Amino acid sequence: MKVRKPILLFIILSIFLLSSCKKELPMEDEIVEIVEEEESPEGEAEEEEIEEKEGIPSPLSGIYAPEEKVNRRPVAIMFDNHPRARWQAGLSQAEIVYEFMVEAPYTRYMGIFLINEPEFIGPIRSSRPYFVTALLEYDPVYVRVGGSPEAKRDIANLKIADIDGLSTSNKVLWKNREVNKKAPHNTYTSMEAIRKTQVERGYRLFGEYEGFKFNEEDRDIDGYSAKEIIIRYFKDNTTTYSYDPEEKVYYRKKDGQVHIDELDNSNIIAKNIIIQEAKTRIIDNEGRLAIELVGEGKGKYITNGRAMDIKWIKKSRNSKTYYYDENGKEILLNPGVTWIQVVKTEPDIIIE
């Protein structure tokens, strides 16, 4: 039987194609490997994203942390800022820090802690009434060493969860002989000692307060350039912030010196800076001040190398301070540490 040439060519071509396809098609286990190779990069990316967002955001900083650390009571600590007290230990681990004027020519810090637990904190100093007004917003355990007569009355009358170094065991607040500082600039503590005392005294373990609002991811703001911020509190008392565009944070200086943490020599940095103008006046012969934090006033919000004008409102001593943009919308902070610089009205400030 003769096979015609066209039919023969078709049969040969078909055999060749089938043979080629058989060689190129992967086996079943090879298919699985290919699929796994294609899916693994996406899987890894998803896992990395989950790790970055592990936990829940802190209402103080927007930084994610384990739920048991976020859902506890904040701690407010008074930090000495006298030149002979520098530098401070543990301050870099506060999520919010206030700087207020005290008796001229000095300022003092109050750090608000929640998710971090520094093993060495200080030096710790005394309270003033306006610090009490500010801390009421966070319902914290309050750590201090003494205070002005009015501040002491406020702390007692308002039933603040107080730990005062003047009436507390030296196992909780102690004079640190290892630092080159003399009293009253050498009182220290630890977060472990604070939390233990909180439990022993029966202070509530959970805070009742409203935190800040944060962007889910880092965002720039509209406004004017703010790469360098200089705040002159007194003639010889200046706070400076310098912006690092690569890290997108501000590095802090105090009186011309780089501000570092005594605990680990790390730089003190800020992601957000709020400048809050408040009416300020001297009230006694000791030079103590009255700073009006209830009411409203002007200010500035600074982040990511830009600044914008804001307005602040605090309706009562116990209520939260709200910060609004020029359109009356509450500002959203970027996740990170916030420094609140409380200054007098018509302050001596340079922003460039």
8 Å CB contact between 79 and 88 = yes
pLDDT tens by residue, 47-89: 545 455 799 999 999 999 999 999 999 999 999 999 999 999 9
pLDDT at 51: 52
Give tens-digit pLDDT for 97-141: 999 999 999 999 999 999 999 999 999 999 999 999 999 999 999
Domains of the chain, each with CATH number or no CATH? 57-200 (3.50.90.10), 224-351 (3.50.90.10)
pLDDT(19) > 60: no
* 168-193 confidence digits (pLDDT tens): 999 999 999 889 999 999 999 999 99
216/49 Cα distance (integer angstroms): 13
Q: Output the pTM of the full model.
A: 0.85
Strand 228-234 with 64-65, pairing? unpaired
Separation of alpha carbons 274 and 310, rounded Å: 9
Two tokens, residue 199: 């439990």
Q: Cα–Cα–Cα angle for 248, 251, 254, nearest 5°? A: 160
What residues pair up with 272 in beta bridges, in sequence order? 303, 338
| CA-based max dimension of the chain | 128
Report the alpha-carbon distance of residue 252 to residue 243 in Å, rounded: 9
- pLDDT above 70 covers a percentage of the chain that reads 85
